[in-house]
Each structure stands twice: as structure tokens, then as C-alpha cells.
Amino acid sequence: MDRRERELIEKLSDKGSLSIEDYEQLIVLRDDEAKDLLALLATQKRKAIFGNAIYTRGLIEISSICKNNCMYCGIRRDNINAERYRLSKEEILTCADEGYELGFRTFVLQGGEDAFFSDDVLCDIVASLKKDHPDCAVTLSMGERSRESYKALYESGADRYLLRHETADRAHYEMLHPKDMSFDNRMRCLTDLKDIGYQVGCGFMVGSPFQTAKTLAQDLFFIKQFKPDMCGIGPFIPHHSTPFKDEAKGSLELTLFLLSVIRLMQPDILLPATTALGSIDPKGREKGILAGANVVMPNLSPVSVRKKYELYDNKICTGEESAQCRECLDKRMEAIGCRLVVDRGDAPRTKGQN
Ligand code: SAM
Ligand code: FES
């Protein structure tokens, strides 16, 4: 590692932020030694706040129907080969019941932008879930909606919302999305969600087509300004029926590096070791935790639909039952000296507010 890189890492660790130019240089100059030092500092910060606790969220993939056409995504509307499904309210509540028995206290309802889930339908599902399990947090990840819709869902009991910003660079955003989607609306959604009172997660794919050290520096700068409660980053993995089918997948090494950087920028952030990370490397999630992540999100969807929620090729955990995933992650975390905790795992700064 050269002197400049060491200086940048020390500055980041002390101050928690860098200029856009410095973030870019930090990324460009990185080598294995820099990655190891960042991981060490990041895990020290994680342990200082969370000890060896790793939070777990049960992911329920409620619909593979989507009106959008994101270039990277396997469930984009133009993918005529995609198998579509939608879970009923009863199926969703059953998944949550099973998850509750397994110890989950946060449920994440994620899906494509499926018009069936109108405000009335989704508010009813959220309210029923909260009524059945008042001690649980409900996270939604259902894409872009109006401010009124986000407000209604919040009032019906949703606590958190995940909406990756995907990239903080406007021109890059436009290369990843068709013309009917806009960077401004994405940013509007994130601002509205925060304003309304949700714990909010943003995030991006590492190695998405056309991404550069400069756009990544903009992502980091955006995250520092926006101060999300959560940040989902995982490698881009091509899907065989999308316009990006021949693009290279994102790197494990860069994803781990960025997880460490984000932990140092915001030590109390909730940072998942994502399924995509586990999909590009058999030990990806463990490596993510050892780089500074502190959340895992096992799948609680019915096994019968799991293969159909195919965002990218070779996604893991599509054949396992919820209990198997829970047990598997328990063991994986134990093997690296961590422990899965079952409480709601609110962002430290918002604890007790929701
Ligand atoms: N519709 C919701 C939304 O847009 O936020 C939730 C579902 S969307 C499929 C969830 C996330 O999957 C996206 O934010 C994107 O970053 C990620 N994703 C989609 N396609 C991917 C791919 N090919 N590789 C890795 N991640 C992908
Ligand atoms: Fe699903 Fe390991 S987490 S099988």
C-alpha cells in the first residue's frame, strides 16, 4: 500500500468522511493490504457498537411481477421468459408466522412494482402482520411510490423502507434504466421516506455496467450526506434474459472493500451481507461480515416460488426451506465468532422510536 492510500484510510477512520476526489483515489489506489487494513478497522468499529451480534431479517419475496424495465434485473417487464407469481395475503402471513416461530422479529416484504399491491391491499397486509406480531418490525421494499402511498403505509405500521438509489450519478442512472424511470423520482422517493419517519435504506450494486471509481465515489459521498439507517450493497450479477446478459459480474474484492469503507463512514449503520454476495462466493456472506457488515437476510418465501424471484443467475437458497436457511446462517455466523440475534435490531439512533 502506498503512503497516500494509508493516509486516506487513516483520515476516513478518524473523521468518517472524505471528499469525492479522495473517495475516488481511495478506490483507485486500493490493493490487498489496503483492503485488509480497512476490514480490520471496520470490524473494530462494528464490534465496538454491536459486539458479536449479527441482525437477521426474514425476507419474503411477495411478487415477481414488475411494471419496470431496469436493464439489469431478471424480473424486468420485457423478460418474457420470467415466471411470474404473486403471493396472497394469507401466504404472506403464513410465511411470517413460520418466520416468527424460527425467531425472526423483522420481516422484509420485497417485490417488483406490481400494481396489484395498491395502497389498500398493502396497508391491509402490513396492518395484519403488525396485529399478528406486534413485537416485530415490518420493512417494505416495493419500489417507487407516491409520497401519499408511503405515508399511508407508514401509518398502517410499516417501520422501514429499502429503496436502493442504484447510483448517485445521473448519467449512470440513465444507462441502467429505461427512459420512463428517472433519477429525480428515485431521489424524491428517498427524501419522502425519510421525511415521513421511516428508517430508510439506500444502496447500489457493485460492478454494475458503466460504473467507474468516480461514480462509486459519488455513491459514497451521497451516502454520507443522506445518512441512511441501512445500506444494501451487493455485486451486480448478470441475468441471462436481460440486456446486460453479457456484462461482467461485480467483484467480491471490491464489494468487501466498499462494505468496510461504509462501516467506517457510518459506524452504526445496518449493513447487510447480501444474498448476491453469497451467490458469487460460497463464503461471501461470512466474508461480508468480516469486512464490516452486520445483517443477514435469509429467505422466508415459500420454496415453490423461490426460483421465480430470479433477479440474477445462480441465486443461492432457492431450494431450501426457511428453517434450513435459518439454521445454515446460525452455523455460518457461529463459525466466524458471531451470533445471530433475534430482536428487531433497530438502527441504534432510532431505537425506541418506532
Ligand atoms: N422493486 C423493488 C425496488 O426496485 O427497490 C425491490 C426489488 S428490486 C429487484 C431489489 C434490488 O435488486 C434492486 O434494488 C437491485 O439493486 C437488485 N438487483 C436487481 N437485479 C440485480 C442483478 N442483476 N444483480 C444484482 N442485484 C440486482
Ligand atoms: Fe439459505 Fe444457507 S442461508 S441455505
- CA–CA distance from 316 to each of 58, 168, 231 (Å)? 15, 28, 21
The pLDDT score that the predictor gives to residue 344 is: 86
Predicted confidence at residue 341, as pLDDT, reads 93
Q: Which atom of ligand 2 is nearest to the CA of 325?
A: 1
Q: Where are the domains of the chain?
A: 16-345
Strand, coil or helix: 56: strand
Asked whether 136 and 173 are in contact (CB, 8 A), the reply is: no
The predicted-structure confidence for 296-320, as pLDDT tens digits, reads as follows: 999 999 999 999 999 999 999 999 9
% of residues, the chain, pLDDT over 70 = 98
d(CA 223, CA 148): 25
Q: Residues 80-91: pLDDT tens digits?
A: 999 999 999 999
- From the list 346, 295, 293, 297, the residue with the least C-alpha distance to 160 is 346
Of ligand 1's atoms, which has the minimum distance to the CA of residue 205?
16
- Give the pLDDT confidence of 315-332 residue by residue, as tens digits: 999 999 999 999 999 999
Q: Is the CB of 317 under 6 A from ligand 2?
A: yes
Q: What are phi and psi of 332, to 5 degrees?
A: -60, -40
Give pLDDT tens digits for 23-79.
999 999 999 999 999 999 999 999 999 999 999 999 999 999 999 999 999 999 999
Nearest CA to ligand 2 atom 3: 325
Mean pLDDT for 152-173 is 98
Q: 228 φ, ψ to 5°?
A: -70, 160
Ligand with an atom nearest the CA of residue 298:
2
pLDDT at 348: 74
CA of 302 to the centre of ligand 2 (A): 14
Asked if the model's pLDDT at residue 94 lies above 50, the reply is: yes
Number of H helices, E strands in the chain: 14, 9
Q: If you write DSSP's letter for every residue of 129-182 in order, what string do you get?
A: HHHH-TTSEEEEE-----HHHHHHHHHTT--EEE---B-S-HHHHHHHS-TTS-
Q: Can you tell me the distance from the alpha carbon of 340 to that of 7, in angstroms, rounded to the nearest whole number?
A: 35
For the chain, what is the mean pLDDT? 96
Query: Cβ < 6 Å from ligand 1: which residues?
Result: 72-73, 110, 112-113, 141-143, 163-164, 166, 205, 234, 236-237, 239, 276, 311-312
Residue 354 pLDDT > 50: no
pLDDT range class, residue 347, cuts 50, 70, 90: confident
Look at residue 295 and give its three-state secondary structure.
strand
pLDDT tens-digit series, residues 235-291: 999 999 999 999 999 999 999 999 999 999 999 999 999 999 999 999 999 999 999
| Span 187-224, pLDDT tens digits | 999 999 999 999 999 999 999 999 999 999 999 999 99
Q: Is pLDDT above 90 for 342?
A: no
Q: Is 261 buried (19+), middle (13-18) or exposed (0-12) by CB count in 10 A? A: buried
Q: 39 CB contacts (<8 Å, ≥6 apart)? A: 256, 260, 290, 291, 292
Angle among Cα 23, 235, 40 to the nearest 5 degrees reads 55
Q: Using the atom order of ligand 2, give the atom closest to the CA of residue 324.
A: 4
CATH 3.20.20.70 describes domain 16-345: yes
